Amino acid sequence: MTRLAVPKTYKLYIGGKFPRSESGRTYEVLSNSGEFLANAAMASRKDARDAVVAARSAVSGWSGATGYNRGQVLYRIAELLEGRRAQFVAEIRDVEGVSAAAASAQVDEAIDRWVWYAGWADKYVQVAGNANAVSGPYFNISVPEPTGVVAIVAPQDSSLLGLVSAVAPALVAGNTVVVIASEKLPLAAISLSEVLATSDVPGGVVNILTGSPAEIAPWLASHADVNAIDLVGAGSLDWISMQVAAADTLKRVFTPENGPDAAAPALGRITGFTETKTVWHTKGLI
């Protein structure tokens, strides 16, 4: 007798918890061949705002952690992802309709990307900062610091790798994130939140919304408590209006990228959402 499967309920990930959308809305996630896979939560403006509140309250803890600590937490995500490879491969195959080899390659690359960025957490400050030889009796040093809350529209043509490629670098410096997953390929994103929830990432550091980026992203672009917005996956949306809205509070903006190299690993993805702080320390006369 075949066993009846127990399907998973896919929900949002906000403040370390898994709520349904407050709107009560869901939408159908279909496989590449059009079969029903699951109902995903369709996040609303209110969910986005709740996510920003959660992200803001997580900033001081996450940015206040040492780089060594953040690096270990990010590395632990890779460890747990490795342990659940099969689940992610299956989800990617279901929803993207790709071969097992292609799905495996995507998961491998996502894991390796966490590892690569994890290693930057206690080093990017050395590379992006420096001491400044000023003409006077001052010790003067410039260091990069996280900008705060970063909103991300994840690449829309990738289940897992695109999301990881955009989220991981934003976390390295100590930013917290509100990310809108791929609208059509959201399952791996929600499963990733289960990995995040069990890998020492404090609640609120990463908040994952599923639903319509066209509906939610403009609210994040104009939200006054968001410091930066990564529009990497917003190429097919009216992203220019979002960039215009982001100017109201002078958010830092990454513009859309297309193709398989979207959000390719780069130090600039870390430093782009940092602020350089320069401190002048007076030297005493002896």
Partner 1 sequence: MSFLEYAPAPESQSILHLKSDYGLFIDGEFVEGQGTPFQTISPATEKHIANIAHASEADVDRAVAAARRAYDTTWSRMSGSDRGKYLFRIARLVQERARELAVAETLDNGKPIKESRDVDVPLVAAWFFYYAGWADKLDHAGLGANPASLGVAAQVIPWNFPLLMLAWKIAPALAAGNTVVIKPAETTSLSAMIFAEILQQADLPAGVVNIVTGAGETGSALVNHGDVNKVAFTGSTAVGRMIARSTAGTDKRLTLELGGKAANIVFDDAPIDQAIEGIVNGIFFNQGHVCCAGSRLLVQENIHDEVIERLKARLSTLRLGDPLDKNTDIGAINSREQLERIRELSDIGEQEGAERWTADCAIPENGFWFAPTIFTNVSTSNRIARDEVFGPVLSVLTFRTPAEAIAKANNTPYGLSAGIWTDKGSRILAVADKLRAGVIWANTFNRFDPASPFGGYKESGYGREGGRHGLAAYLKPAASASAIAAAPAKPVTAAKAQNASEGAAASARAASSVTAAKAKKASK
Binding site residues, partner 1, CB under 8 A: 127-128, 130, 132-136, 138, 140, 142, 147, 227, 235, 238-241, 243-244, 246-250, 252-253, 255-258, 261, 266, 268, 275-282
Encoded tokens for 89 = 């491969």
Encoded tokens for 279 = 């401190």
> What 3-state DSSP class applies to 152?
strand
Q: How near is the Cβ of 252 to partner 1 at its closest, in Å?
A: 6
Which CB sits closer to partner 1, 51 or 245? 245
Instruction: Note the helical H segments in the chain.
Output: 45-64, 67-83, 85-96, 100-120, 124-128, 161-172, 187-197, 213-222, 239-246, 267-271
Q: How near is the Cβ of 195 to partner 1 at its closest, in Å?
A: 29
Which CB sits closer to partner 1, 2 or 135? 135
Distance CA 58, CA 205 (A): 6
Distance CA 52, CA 54 (A): 5
Q: How near is the Cβ of 136 to partner 1 at its closest, in Å?
A: 7
Which CB sits closer to partner 1, 20 or 252? 252
Q: How near is the Cβ of 242 to partner 1 at its closest, in Å?
A: 8
Q: How near is the Cβ of 3 to partner 1 at its closest, in Å?
A: 47
Which CB sits closer to partner 1, 101 or 250? 250
Phi and psi of 225, rounded to 5°?
Answer: -100, 15
Amino acid at 65: A
Which CB sits closer to partner 1, 214 or 253? 253
Specify whether the CB–CB gap between 182 and 158 falls below 8 A.
Answer: yes
